Amino acid sequence: MELPNAFFLFARAEVEYDGRASSTLALGNYGILRKPDGSIQIHGANLIRPLNYMGKASISWDGDVILARSKKEVIRIRVDCVHHLIPLEEWSETKIRLIRTEAELRDKIVVDPESYLGIDPSQFEAVPEFVIDGEPVDIVFFPRGDGECLRVVEVKRTQVTKNTCYQLRKYMDALSKHYKERYGYLGYVAAPKITKSGRKCAEEHGYAYVPVDF
């Protein structure tokens, strides 16, 4: 049978997936969404995430079986009964515009380190997204003169957790390995909030918590 380019299908079906993992889905009523980009997703009665999904798949409908295939994955949908099948045309590819991102918080600290870190801006060069060891550090403040420590800042959009501190530690490891005794080092974790264990971990590591908000 011929399938539209994009469609929403509500059907009684059972589903098998094999690829990065394997899964089976018992016979039941599911919503199946096929998009113009070739992606397909199978939804159950709850949760945002689909039960099964595949990006950029080629699909065929042969008898009562819809087969979606990509290089290393396959979804096999045995359709028992079609409740609804509607083709979707002229679907918009509009991109969403987001505000209030981590970058926004980061930039606040970059432009006003005096308020947030209590350091003299003229004494430091602020480098956002400084790449060390192939990984970008949120902000590194390089001292222009002697007698000042290098400052390393890790920013989170919502909250500082224990993991945030370990992430900062990873960066500080890399920086001190690279620059050795050329600098002293000070670490900061910044976010609107900090968890209890995050605070404890920051204290143990000697990192300062910097509250920053939108």
Interaction site with DNA (CB under 7 A): 17, 19-21, 23, 39, 47-55, 73, 75, 96, 98, 101-103, 129, 131, 134-136, 138, 156-159, 161-163, 167, 170, 195-198
Give the residue carrying structure tokens 């001292």.
143
Residue 150 CB, shortest distance to DNA, in Å, is 19
Residue 213: name the closest of 167, 166, 155 by CA.
155
Residue 92 binding: pick among a copy of itself, DNA, none (C-beta 5-8 Å cut-off by kind)? a copy of itself
Under rule CB under 8 A, residue 192 binds a copy of itself: no
Q: Are 84 and 12 in contact (CB under 8 A)?
A: no
Q: Which is nearer to a copy of itself, 29 or 115 (CB)?
A: 29
Residue with tokens 């295939």: 69
Among 3, 53, 69, 121, binds a copy of itself (CB under 8 A): 53
Cβ count within 10 A of residue 51? 18
Whether the CB-CB separation of 92 and 32 falls below 8 Å is answered with no
CB of 126 to DNA, least distance (A): 17
Closest distance between DNA and the C-beta of residue 121, in Å? 23
CB of 150 to a copy of itself, least distance (A): 21
Assign residue 196 a region (left: φ > 0; alpha: ψ between -120 and 50; beta: otherwise).
alpha
Q: Residue 147, Cα to own-chain centre: how many angstroms?
A: 38
Q: Which residues, numbered 60-89, are part of the site for a copy of itself (CB under 8 A)?
A: 83-84, 86, 88-89
Q: Which stretch binds a copy of itself (CB under 8 A): 25-33, 63-71, 105-113, 138-146?
A: 25-33
CB atoms within 10 A of CB 193: 13
